[in-house]
Structures are given as structure tokens and as C-alpha cells.
Structure 1
Amino acid sequence: MTRPPLPETKRTLTLRDVSEASGVSEMTVSRVLRNRGDVSEATRKRVLEASKALGYVPNKIAGALASSRVNLVAVIIPSMSNMVFPEVMTGISNALEGTGLQPVVGITNYLPEKEEAVLYEMLSWRPSGVIIAGLEHSDASRAMLRNAGIPIVEIMDVDGEPVDAVVGISHRRAGRKMAQAIAAAGYQKIGFLGTKMPLDHRARKRFEGFTEALAKTGIEIVDQEFYSGGSALAKGREMTAAILGRHPDIDFLYYSNDMIGAGGLLYCLEKGINVPTDLGLAGFNGVELLDGLPRQLATMDACRLEVGQTAAEIIARRTSGEETETGQRIELSPKLSFGDTLRQP
């Protein structure tokens, strides 16, 4: 029996292959692909066309060995299922486009030990910069960030001491602003519904600012309902039913995020509760996905796109040498939207 011929062994393409295909020296090919040196436009075009036709991809690890850095920006965030972070990533990607830098994402699930592991792996590849969510890190993570020798930008929160640069909003101020609007509208019996806050520091800070501002007007939280897991409409419905079952006289519900707030709104509409006259509702994050609800939920925008874009711009400027300043602190101002669920004073 005749055996079929063995398939041709594939090998990794080299600069020599591109050199032979384009008819120029390997040094010229290297200059073109690294966008370095004085090369004519005609030669550049010939090299790029040959490289593309061959399917050649440069070995950037080899270049990184010389520079000790790769053109990657480590982006470390808690979740991609949360509606907040995809918009942050869009801002980062937009800002890095055309810079030669590429974002690579690590997910921590809000767990400090997972953040340590992800950060360790990311830094082992010697990225050009790090964008990381939050200001609360373990001692080990903070030590790694402090000694990385690259631009570090902590995002989403400015209530604390950053390792290097920070871009975000004050969550305590956001909580206070929402509480002031609720009190000014005449609501008195307030319930809070949200995530279990030991792991969600930004939600905790909003809650602290919220309760502090209410206390100054003589109002205390009547009841609280918490959950763990992803932000979901079903969770919002369940928690709203539970808290109203215990305290039917509550006249306002403040949710730690818009997704559970939307679930609460749907529950109230289903039960025929008069919103916002008898019961006011508000969330947080300004999620555009919810614009199609029968009523517009009162909320506050967390400036997600701008946060991502600003953080990435800091990394890009500093890695290019355009900017040498460290320790930038950029606080953005979220906007309160009354929607259809919060009476305007």
C-alpha cells in the first residue's frame, strides 16, 4: 500500500524571507517594519506589500529583549460581564489607536488574590504601562506596581492614595450628591439595595457618602438588601420585592447600580406602584442599554468612556517621552439624571 506524501513542514518566516521577496536587505526590512530609519516611500511600500503577502509577523519578543519592554498596556479590571467595563475598554482602545501600543486585559473578579496573580503574570511580560481599576490593592500588588518602573494609572476612583497617576470620580461625592437630590425632593424613608461591599470598594464609598449626606438632613436608612454575583435584572426584582415586603412604607429605593435598579423599576411597574410619586428609584452608572425601559431610571454617569480614554492617553504620552510628569490626579465630574423615577425639587 502506497502511503500518501507527508505534508510539507511549516517553518516560521524570517526577515530573510521578506528581504528576498521584496528585493531589499534584511536591515532595510527591519527598519521598515520598526518604522525606523530613512527609507524611501517606494521601498517602504514594497517591503510592506511583501510582508503582507507572505503573512509575516515580526517577532517583537526579540526586540523586547533589547528594550526590556513590549508594546502592550496591561489593563486589569474586575469584570467584563459588568456593563461598566466594556465602555472603559472602548475609551482605552480609542486612545491607543495609532500609538503602536495594544491593550491586553486581565480579569480579577474583585478578588485581591486574583489581582495579585494577574498583575504578576502581566508584569512578567514587561508591558509598557498598566491601567488598573481601583485604589485598594494587597500589599504585594501595591509593591509590584510601585516597583514596576513603568507608568501606572489607577482608574474609576479618586478617593484614596494612588501609586502613580489616577483618573476617575469621587464615589463618596457621587453618593452625597444623590442623597442631597433625594432629600431635596421630599423623600424620607429610604432603602438601599446593592452588592456586598467588602469586595466592591467603589460601591462602599458611594454608600458612605450617601448615608453621611442623609444624616445631615436627619434621615437614616430604613433597611438594606444585599446580593453577590453579577448585576442582573432578576436580582433587582428579587431584592425590591424583599425590601418592600418588609417595609411597604418605604418611599425611595437607592440601588448601587443601574442593572438591579432596572429590575426594581420593572417590578414596581408590574405591581402598579406609582413611580415616582409613591416610590422613587435611582441607580448608578448611566447605562445606555436601559434607555429603552418604559421609564427612564434616575442615575448618575460614571464617566466611563472618558476615564478609559484619559488613562490610556497618559500611558501613551509617557511611553513616547512626550510627557515625563508622574502622579497626575484627574477627577471627573459625574452628571445626575433625574429621569422619570426621581421627583425634581
Structure 2
Amino acid sequence: MPPRKPPTMQDIARKVGVSPMTVSRALRDGTSVNAQTREAIRQAVDQLGYVFDSTAANLRNQRTGFVAVTIPSINNANFAATVRGLSEGLREHGLQPLLGYTDYDIEQEEVLVEQLLRRRPEAIVVTGGQHTPRCRRLLQGAGIPVVETWDLPEDPIDHVVGFSNADAARMLVDHLAATGRTRIAFIGGDTDRDSRGTDRREGFIAAMKRHGLEADRLIGAGMPPLSMREGAMAMRILLQQAPDTEAIICVSDLVAFGALTECQRAGIDVPGQMAIAGFGNYEISAICVPSLTTVDPFSEEIGTRTAATVIAAIAGEVGSPVISRIEPQVCVRESSEG
């Protein structure tokens, strides 16, 4: 299915009942258009998902040479690996990524998407499948390939390269339950701002219930992005509230490492008294002592596959949306063995 044709200035003009020139003036400076008409044009722009192209005159007959990319964090090793795989795949075809940083905020994603689309990229890659309604309209009307990554949205906009975060948590619950541990906790964010972290928490709850276990040991570690300090603080709270806990699943390896250090500070043997598992397969998870059980989401592979999807879509080699499913893998290490 080819991308939907983006709305034009003529579409806005017809909807409002004015000339395209009036629309152009309103969008450029607005000073020569009355307030009522400007507001009607603004509403039509929002409803149709139109993006004013400030560089159209220069770009109509040439490629821009870049692919727009939004990521939640610039200092997250997982997203950095995805961008690396994407960049290498695009570079072979003369394309470069242009990054936007959302800070796990879908409202900020909406702002960035509009700004990036104004520059007319060859394609746009976004992290996750949760967007504001207006951002979704902008992406649907962009007229270029759109790839949602790091998720498997129920209603994809176009192409998808990702995995089920809920299933990733389920795999960890299955592993810990198989070792005989039943009092298992989850450490994640306080809010639903990180939709992927929320999916892992929901996957944890569903998997615990499937095993006939209580899923009430849910510890909020603060506002994403979460790191080692939040993991240590959350572990301290868990030990105070539920000292009989036998295992914890953390939303990321950084949080898990913080929890591990708090256990060491408190003299709690890992994995003898407490098993710990994280997510992301960060470098620290393999070299800390004890090494951390984790889930490898194959972050760089997500970027590599996304680049291949973008190239094929730009070349018109795909007739319908591509859904490329990544299969994460549990890496069982010292923190949960025994």
C-alpha cells in the first residue's frame, strides 16, 4: 500500500473557502489575513495534518538526502545502537539520519515530527507506536515512508520494526518462576510516559497471573529516563516494604545494576537471597559482579532492519506495509542462577 498522498495548500483552501494565496500568506506571516480567517486556516491545517513546506521551491526536483529519526534519549545505549545500525545502513545508499530527541514525551514528539517534516525528509523513523492524535495525522499525511520501531503497535501507521515489550517481561517471569521463585517484584517508572516500560510492567503482571502468582510488588522508581540511582532507591524501598521478595525484574539494565549495588550494600546475597533481572543487554550487565540476567532486544539489528525497510520503501520495492518482528532473547547470567 503506497503512502497516502499528503494534503496540499489547495486542500486547505477548499476546506476553508479561500484562495491558496490567502492560505500561503496566513502560513507565512499572517499579518495581511484577518484573525478569523487565520484561525479557520489553522484549524484546517490541524485537522488535515498539513505541514507547511518552507523549502518546497528548492526541493521539488531534488532529494534532501536525509531520513528523520526521533528517539526518546540520546544517552541510552540501546537507542544509540539502533541509530548506529540505521546510520550504517543508510550511509551505503547516500542517506543520513537527522535526529530529534523526545525525552519520552509524546507532546514533544509531535513538535519534532512537524519540524522535521517541514524539511521534507526521504522517510521518517519514530520510536514506539504511541503518538498524540495530531502527530499520528501528521505521519499519516506525510506522503513518505514511516517506520515505527521498538514496538508492535496494534494499529501501525505504515511500516514496523520492533518486538513485544510485554512478551520480553513474560520471558523473564517464566525464567524466574522456573527456578522456583514465586515472590517476584517489578521496578519501573512512576508514570506511563515510557510506553515501552509500561508494556513491560503489564507483561509482568499478566505473566505472574498466568503462573498463579501475586503481581502486587510494583515499585515506581521515578520519571523516565531511569538510571542506576533510581534503581538503588527503588530497591531500598522494596526491601523496606516487602523484605521477603525473592526476585525482581527491572525495566532496564541500568535500574537492575542500581538494585544490585543496593543489595550488596545491604549484605543481601545475589542470587542466593535475591535474583535480579534487567532489560537491554547493556555492556555493564555482562561485566558487573555478579553478571546480570537480561533480555537482549537486538538494538542494532532494529536499526539495520529499519534502514533496509526505508531503502526498499523509498525505491518502491514494497507494495504493502512491512511488519518486521524482532525476537528478543533472555540472557541467563549469574544474578538469577541457582
TMscore range, shorter length = 0.7 to 0.9
Aligned mates of 2:211, 2:275 — CA distance in 1: 18
Matches within 5 A, 1:103-182: 103-182=97-176
Q: Is the 8 A contact 2:86 2:303 kept in 1?
A: yes
1:63 Cα deviation after fit:
9.0
The residue matched to 1:67 in structure 2 has which SS?
Answer: coil
Q: Does 1:215 align with 2:209?
A: yes
Structure 1 stretches of 5 or more lacking a match? 1-60
Aligned mates of 2:224, 2:202 — CA distance in 1: 21
Instruction: For 2:243, give the aligned amino acid.
Output: P
Counting matched residue pairs gives 283
Aligned mates of 1:93, 1:212 — CA distance in 2: 36
Matches within 5 A, 1:307-326: 307-321=302-316, 323-326=317-320
Q: Is the 8 A contact 1:153 1:165 kept in 2?
A: yes
Deviations 1:283-341 (A, max 9, x none): 111112333211111100111100011111111122234x1323110111111011111
What's 1:287 paired with? Answer: 282
Aligned mates of 2:63, 2:320 — CA distance in 1: 19
Name the Cα RMSD after superposition.
1.7
Instruction: For 2:184, give the aligned amino acid.
Output: I
Aligned mates of 2:310, 2:159 — CA distance in 1: 10
Q: Does 1:100 align with 2:84?
A: no
Instruction: For 1:341, give the aligned amino acid.
Output: S
Q: Is the 8 A contact 1:154 1:162 kept in 2?
A: yes
1:200 Cα deviation after fit:
1.1
What's 2:273 paired with? Answer: 278
Aligned residue among 258, 264, 280 for 2:259: 264
Q: Is the 8 A contact 2:66 2:121 kept in 1?
A: yes
Q: Is the 8 A contact 1:166 1:328 kept in 2?
A: yes
Q: Does 1:201 align with 2:195?
A: yes
The residue matched to 2:150 in structure 1 has which SS?
Answer: strand
Deviations 1:138-196 (A, max 9, x none): 11111111111111110001142210000011112112111111111111111111113
1:271 Cα deviation after fit:
2.4
Matches within 5 A, 1:4-19: none
Aligned mates of 1:300, 1:288 — CA distance in 2: 12
Structure 2 stretches of 5 or more lacking a match? 1-54
TM-score, normalising length from structure 1? 0.78
1:68 Cα deviation after fit:
6.4
Moved over 6 A (4+): none
Q: Is the 8 A contact 2:181 2:247 kept in 1?
A: yes
Change (3 A) 1:62 1:171: closer
What's 1:236 paired with? Answer: 231
Aligned mates of 1:259, 1:293 — CA distance in 2: 11
Deviations 1:33-62 (A, max 9, x none): xxxxxxxxxxxxxxxxxxxxxxxxxxxx79
Aligned mates of 2:153, 2:200 — CA distance in 1: 10
State, as a whole percentage, how many aligned pairs show the same letter: 30
